[in-house]
Amino acid sequence: MKARSDVERNGGQILMQQLRIQGVRRLFMVPGESYLPCIDALNEHVDAIQAVVCRQESGAAYMAEAYGKLTGEPGICFVTRGPGATNASIGVHTAFQDSTPMILFIGQVGNDFYEREAFQEIDYRRMFGQMAKWVAQIDRTDRIPEYIARAFAVATSGRPGPVVLALPEDTLWGRAVVEDLPRYQRALSHPGVGDMTRLKTLLDEAERPFLLVGGSGWTQDAVERISAFAQRFELPVGTAWRRLECFNQRHPNAAGHVGWGMTDELRNRILDADLILAVGTRLGEATTLGYTLVESPRPRQKLVHVYPDSAELGRVFMPTQAIVAGVAGFAQALEPLQPGHAVPRGAAVQEAHAQYLDSLRALDFPGPMSLDAAAGHLGRSLPDDACLTVGAGNYALYLHRYRSFNGLGTSLAPTVGSMGYGLPAAISAKLEHPDRIVVCGAGDGCFQMNMQELGVAMQYRLGIVVLVFNNGMWGTIRAHQEREFPARPIALDFENPDFTQVVRAYGGLGIAVEKTEDFPAALDRALAFAQTENLPALLEIRYDADGIAPGETLSAIRAAALARAAG
């Protein structure tokens, strides 16, 4: 698009034109008077930028974060000052811990009122300083293109993450003659020749190596190259906590999901490994089971840590080898490597995959409605390219255990464990891939954090399917409470509305499911309604609250805790 340098424009017009140049196709927003010039300027870009009007800022921020996960480009969110910014902060925190490119624009009081605690005024540098890669305020209209170009570069370079830009009213209403800047160029990092030579030596010497993939920045080409590399070098492959989309779980080298809820066999395999090759993942608390699977600061296994940000390497773990590289550049550098290991590893790979396949068999569940059986049916019946989204809660363990995810775009899950994420993420996924099936899983508490975003699904005619797991309590916290203070539950139960009636108010379909045998037909009906009517369908799954996680019950957790207390 040709740069404009001879036309006077207001700040809103300059900003929106710059977003268009940077390739923005969709943005998520809750309108506010603090950035009216930006809203008005959208009139000039309706052919290129879709503005999605959300119901609450946390929903808008989650949708933008999910867009960043799906596309690798910064998700764009606009909110108003003060309350709008605080509501959106949860999406910024999610983007930071999930390493997702995102840019949050916040309306701000004018510089003539600044630092008087004016109406809804907040210092965003202080507020977002520890949860964003860069926080700034654009105080001059003529510098808007400069700040926007830098924001895109920062959000996508190294370890991707969120950028926050405050927009004072006088900056947006001000006028300037300024040249537009060209589209940003993503800075990619690649390993050196010496890095790959040493890596090959370590791999050839290892007898029980394990490949762990995760993080962000994956491309389909990178997934395919990593898959071929794993086969050549006979490596079992695990996916880091809630990054199930990074590897095809049906691949013969797939070993399963690493982190909370993992199988004993997979945990023991990693503990027994003599080399872990971690690609793209930070190896956070959830993936390492509280830094016990891979110990900090010195792992018991040899660790080759591949990550795009040098500041992360050696920060928590002392690696045997640290490689500064993005997953795409690293995957490309793997192409010429050929194995030279003396000890055959094919049997271990086959055993790991067989153990993973065995974990797909439904475990026992108390009561007439089995979450294990329902999640297993869902996992088998959805097409390969379907996207499954979740927020936070033990219900997600069932969905992630029994679905063999098939690569990029098939899973959206916050590694930060934030509640209320699933529905906004499903909306974002359906906007991005309208022809694909999108299913949201949400606990009854998780769903009510953002269920108002059903209005977005209704307004934009998005046929998503929502599974609400209704056990009438904060289940994950109840499990922790029973472990630490057994038989003393308090302040965890709540009464729920009839969720089937809620979705009907938004024009959708609602079905209550209370028996395992009724789930397949109800799911088929929901999927058909969503696809034909382009409106949300919801299954309210009512089940025995004693079933808290795959293979676990609250009563068993309580009994074990009481036995420990008794000595």
- Whose tokens are 């539950």? That residue is 489
pLDDT in tens, 109-119: 766 767 777 66
Q: What residues does 29 pair with on adjacent strands?
A: 53, 78
pLDDT at 317: 96
* Residue 146, amino acid: E
Tens-place pLDDT, residues 197-207: 999 999 999 99
Are residues 423 and 450 in contact, defined by beta-carbon separation less than 8 angstroms? yes
Answer yes or no: pTM beyond 0.75. yes
Yes or no: is domain 8-177 CATH 2.40.30.10? no
User: What is the pLDDT at residue 118?
Assistant: 63
Identify the DSSP state of 248: B
Q: Given this model, what pLDDT does residue 113 score? A: 65
pLDDT at 545: 95
241, 286 contact by CB (below 8 A): yes
Residue 449 clears pLDDT 80, i.e. is over it:
yes
Query: Residue 3: what pLDDT?
Result: 55
The least confident of 127-131, 313-317, 546-550 is 127-131
3-state secondary structure of 142: helix
Q: What is the pLDDT of residue 188?
A: 86
Stretch (H or E) spanning 547:
strand 547-549
Q: Is the pLDDT of residue 5 over 80?
A: no
CATH fold label, 371-566:
Rossmann fold (3.40.50)
pLDDT band at 83 (very low <50, low <70, confident <90, very high): very high
Q: What percent of the chain has pLDDT over 90?
A: 93
Q: Given a cut of 80, is residue 240 above it in pLDDT?
A: yes
301 burial (CB, 10 Å; 0-12 / 13-18 / 19+) is buried
d(CA 376, CA 372): 6
Please check the confidence at residue 560 and state whether its pLDDT lies above 70: yes
The runs of H, that is alpha helices, within 296-453 are 327-334, 346-358, 371-381, 395-402, 422-432, 444-447
Task: Give ranges for CATH 3.40.50.970 in the chain.
Answer: 8-177, 371-566
Per-residue pLDDT of 305-361, as tens digits, reads 999 999 999 999 999 999 999 999 999 999 999 999 999 999 999 999 999 999 999
Residue 1: per-residue pLDDT:
47
* Residues ≥6 apart with Cβ < 8 Å to 266: 238, 255, 256, 257, 258, 352, 355, 356
Banded model confidence at residue 187, pLDDT cuts 50, 70, 90: confident
Residues 383-412, mean pLDDT to the nearest whole number: 96
In tens, the pLDDT along 6-63 reads 799 999 999 999 999 999 999 999 999 999 999 999 999 999 999 999 999 999 999 9
Whole-number percent of the chain with pLDDT over 70: 97
pLDDT at residue 119 in the model: 64
Sheet holding 509-513, edge to edge: 411-412, 387-390, 438-443, 465-470, 537-542, 509-513
Pairing, β 411-412 against β 387-390: parallel
Q: What's the whole-number mean pLDDT along residues 79-104?
A: 96
Question: For the residues 522-541, what does the mean pLDDT come to?
Answer: 98
The tokens describing 270, both together, are 């990693």
Is the CATH number 3.40.50.1220 carried by domain 193-358? yes
- Average pLDDT along the chain: 95
User: Boundaries of CATH 3.40.50.1220 in the chain?
Assistant: 193-358
Tell whether the model's pLDDT for residue 553 goes beyond 50: yes
In whole angstroms, give the CA distance from residue 256 to residue 354. Answer: 10
The token pair that represents 134 in the structure block: 């860069």
Q: Which of 270, 273, 305, 277 is nearest to 207 (CA)?
A: 273
3-state DSSP percent of the chain in helix, strand and coil, to 5: 40, 20, 40
Q: What is the mean pLDDT of residues 519-528?
A: 98
Q: Under a CB-based contact definition with an 8 Å cutoff, are residues 191 and 336 in contact?
A: no
